[in-house]
Structure 1
Amino acid sequence: MSNYAKRREAEALERKQNNQKTALKALIIVAVLAILIGGGYYLKNKSSNKQNVATATGDPDYNIDDYVKLGKYEGVKVNSIKPEVTDETFENKKKSLMDAAVEYKDLKDRGVQKGDKVTIDFDGTMNGKAFDGGSGKDHEYVLGEGSMIKGFDEGLYGVKVGESKTLNLTFPKDYGKKELAGKDVVFEVTINKAQEVSYQPKWDDEFAKKSTDGEYSDIASYEKKVKEDLLSEAKQNSEDTLKNDVWEAVVANAKIDGHPDYVYNTVKQKVTANIQSTAQMYKMSTEDYLKLFAGGVSMKEYIEKFVNSQLVSEKLIKELKIEISDKEYDKLAKADLKTYGVKTVKELEESYGKDNLMNHYKAEKLYDYLVEKANVKEVTQAEYTKLKEAASKKNAKE
């Protein structure tokens, strides 16, 4: 397989994984998917739903009006990110493409140095005891790229394949995991394999031809294609972010007075199951998941967020009388086949349940309506980031 074919295959896999991540976030954030609408609907229809919630405790016959009083949901003010490809974005992508195109050959007769690709086994201990995430087998990476803590790579320079080295290091004071920040650690490292660069690409016509198997003969046309792909990604990100921000504003405007036990327990089951599934898929801890998807909030806060989201969704769908016709359902389900990695609507329903999918589409229809009615101001990515940081600091003080 050519380098270009390998890269295209890798990009396809990455897109599939990103689609799965996006889909998963949608399943959770939308909240109505795989949960319930209409007070215990799924409990009463569990035979038609493979992913039923029959084990949830609490009374499914509740009145949503007893728990939610809607605030302003039409015309909420939000900022929308202007889809654009900045010089920085392009340069980062350019570097990524060139790094992926670097070729290596097995290293002989010298110790490793910065820029070499190594495969290592490592075991870390703190006060003589192993710690979570401190060990790894056949870990492959490029020395000097900054993926390991300070002193790790430098300590391996000069070590040859088959040799081991003891590294006495200290985690940075601002390290992501608080229990490790600033702590002394000992790593026992063995280099199993090492390779040095045999081909270092340059951003030129040769790179365009070599990395695309001749699909692009000059760097100008290839660069244009790269920027078009980046703009497409920026547009999708803008749409997803706008929908999320509108929804957060609508939920924040609503007044929620408690929650039915049935809803809380059902949401807890589904959110917990999704976290465990995702954490296992991407080999991350629950703590890492919460940092990545939830800004580092506690599990309790995370669950409550989606309980509130569920209740407001249910109230609004009832208020606006949102329905999905059979024709709409069929069209939406077929459009989702590629996203969820299945070939037929039947397979999709077997994986998620038709009732769950129907409710998901109702929620999506609701969110599209809310975005259409929102008071939107377009800003740059840099402006959006500053506004978000300012809002975050303000909320922290309050």
Structure 2
Amino acid sequence: MVKWEKIESNKVSLEIEIPSEKVNEAMEKAYYKLRGQFVIPGFRKGKAPRKIIESRYGSEVFNGEALDILAEPAYREAIKETELEPINQPELEPVQLEKDKPLILKVNVEVKPDVQLGEYRGVTIERVKKEITAASVDKYLESLREQHARLVTLEEGTLQEKDLAIIDFKGTIDGEPFNGSEAENYSLQLGSRTFIEGFEEQLVGAVKGEKRDLTVSFPSDYYHEELAGKEAVFHVEIKEIKRPQLPVLDDSFVQEITDDFNNIEDFRADAEKKLNEGLQKQLRVDLENRLIEQVAENCTVDIPASLVEREIDSLLREFEYYLRMQRLSLAQYARMFEGGMAQLREERREEAAKRAKVNLVLDAIVKAEGIEAAEADLNQRISELTERFKMNESLDEAREKFSHDGRLDMIKREIHYRKTMDLLVENANIVEITEEQAAAGEGSAGILE
């Protein structure tokens, strides 16, 4: 039997009653599991009767293990019966736990708050009409030429942007060297912004064999605090200059970089097609993001602080992934700034609150529209994932693995959200505007007047 009541805006208290028969069964299971831990004079270890152990250690000696046996299944069944949606771990407190009596279990838990849905069908949203131009294709092909450029050593000429300079350097502050200030035969591409501001710029125009003294200042927020805000002089010698030589954009170049095409005309047509596909996907994502934000603004909900904190954790994990590519940990990055980790969390609070609200609104629309993840949807998505991650399991094996790892519910939720976004877009009043209108601020208001 389950009773429940709301005690705060999104917190409920449940009273779960478990029959005495189940309590006695759990007590007996607890006894058999734990009896080997008790040493009773006159009995071999693990062979003392339950009554003897209880008389020596107290009648409640098996209560903790019995509660572990009973509480989790009873809580899950109560949540299913009440159709509540918890958002964090419950607080469990046994009110009554005795032999031959029902277990009375009190549970406090945060649940999803009620969402007052506003308008979500027929929302007016602007979409900027964009297409891949010939100039865009040219820029892409030029980037391919740069990727496949060959470095040619210059015996004459001066250093220019994008040149690779082989240098020796030694840095000093107030005439004294400092850690990491010296290197030989270092490869530096001008324009890469690898060094602090001003270093690379002062090398432009240098010739092979030239020596230059470069004066630069470390930023005030430089991650090595002992260098922050200080002026340094770097003594640099240009050992070698290498310049990228771009390949000719012709059939030979195409055949060198791909086996799929033999001539530049077909390769260019394919590039234009793929660029356009990528652009349309980007435009769709942008439209969906702006649409769900607008829908969320039309809705009212009290966002639980725990959900906001969870989203902050997620944002920081995403940021840490980026930091790892810079060979920094999140903890190291936090130490560079006043306020540390607390400041990093606070800076993301507003975005986290938006994310939390959007997710709550999406869940509410899923429920209102009766959106489900059908078996065919699940199987298709699982097949896509097994192919993407090159899993060797069959569909059934992959599904079992996802279920065991707790990812099947995540996949179902992903399908729910995908169907919901499709519904919102299909029912939106989409107003097409040109890039010129968007740049001039002539949105749908101006068009519809």
Q: Same fold (TM over 0.5)?
A: yes
Q: Which TM class, normalised by the smaller chain length? A: 0.5 to 0.7
Deviations 1:81-132 (A, max 9, x none): 4352123322321221111121114x4767971242246798999999xxxx
**Is residue 201 from structure 1 mapped to residue 255 from structure 2 by the alignment?**
no
CA distance in 1, matches of 2:171, 2:86: 50
Partner SS state of residue 228, structure 1: helix
CA distance in 1, matches of 2:413, 2:287: 21
Q: Which has the higher contact order (CA 8 A, sep 6+)?
A: 1
CA distance in 2, matches of 1:336, 1:321: 25
Deviations 1:220-242 (A, max 9, x none): 22221221121111121122122
Alignment map for 1:264-279 (pairs within 5 Å)? 264-279=308-323
CA distance in 2, matches of 1:335, 1:135: 51
Q: Using a 3 Å threshold, how does the CA distance of structure 1 residues 73 and 226 change in structure 2: closer, same or farther?
A: same
Moved more, 81-90 or 246-255: 81-90
**Conserved? CA contact 2:163–2:241, under 8 Å:** yes
Give the letter aligned to residue 270 of structure 1.
S
Aligned residue pairs: how many?
322
CA distance in 2, matches of 1:138, 1:301: 47
**Conserved? CA contact 2:88–2:109, under 8 Å:** no
What CA RMSD, in Å, does the superposition of the two structures yield over aligned residues?
5.0
CA distance in 1, matches of 2:251, 2:272: 16
**Is residue 332 from structure 1 mapped to residue 386 from structure 2 by the alignment?**
no
Q: Using a 3 Å threshold, how does the CA distance of structure 1 residues 144 and 389 change in structure 2: closer, same or farther?
A: farther
**Is residue 85 from structure 1 mapped to residue 132 from structure 2 by the alignment?**
yes
Q: Using a 3 Å threshold, how does the CA distance of structure 1 residues 339 and 170 change in structure 2: closer, same or farther?
A: farther
CA distance in 2, matches of 1:143, 1:125: 22
CA distance in 1, matches of 2:444, 2:172: 40
**Is residue 156 from structure 1 mapped to residue 203 from structure 2 by the alignment?**
yes
**Is residue 298 from structure 1 mapped to residue 347 from structure 2 by the alignment?**
yes
Structure with the greater alpha carbon radius of gyration: 2
CA distance in 2, matches of 1:381, 1:136: 49
Partner SS state of residue 376, structure 1: strand
Q: Using a 3 Å threshold, how does the CA distance of structure 1 residues 39 and 267 change in structure 2: closer, same or farther?
A: farther
TM-score of the two chains, using structure 2 as the length reference:
0.56
Q: Using a 3 Å threshold, how does the CA distance of structure 1 residues 314 and 218 change in structure 2: closer, same or farther?
A: closer
**Which of the numbers 263, 273, 287 marks the counterpart of 1:228?**
273
**Which of the numbers 285, 297, 307 marks the counterpart of 1:263?**
307
TM-score of the two chains, using structure 1 as the length reference:
0.62
Deviations 1:131-166 (A, max 9, x none): xxx9999986632577877743342343769x9865
Moved more, 186-195 or 304-313: 186-195
Give the letter aligned to residue 117 of structure 2.
L
Partner residue, 1:94: 141
Partner SS state of residue 200, structure 2: helix
Shift, 1:271, TM fit: 3.3
Structure 2: runs of 5 or more not aligned: 1-82, 91-106, 176-180, 224-228, 335-345
Alignment map for 1:1-398 (pairs within 5 Å)? 39-40=85-86, 43=89, 60-62=109-111, 64-65=113-114, 68-105=115-152, 107=153, 113-114=159-160, 115-118=162-165, 142-144=189-191, 151-157=198-204, 158=206, 166-169=213-216, 186=232, 188=234, 196-197=242-243, 199-212=245-258, 215-257=260-302, 259-281=303-325, 298-337=347-386, 345=398, 353-381=407-435, 383-384=437-438, 387=441
**Conserved? CA contact 1:251–1:312, under 8 Å:** yes
Structure 1: runs of 5 or more not aligned: 1-36, 45-57, 129-133, 178-182, 289-296, 392-398
**Conserved? CA contact 2:169–2:235, under 8 Å:** yes
CA distance in 1, matches of 2:362, 2:172: 48
Q: Using a 3 Å threshold, how does the CA distance of structure 1 residues 375 and 225 change in structure 2: closer, same or farther?
A: same
CA distance in 2, matches of 1:274, 1:316: 27
Q: Using a 3 Å threshold, how does the CA distance of structure 1 residues 371 and 310 change in structure 2: closer, same or farther?
A: same
CA distance in 1, matches of 2:402, 2:171: 43
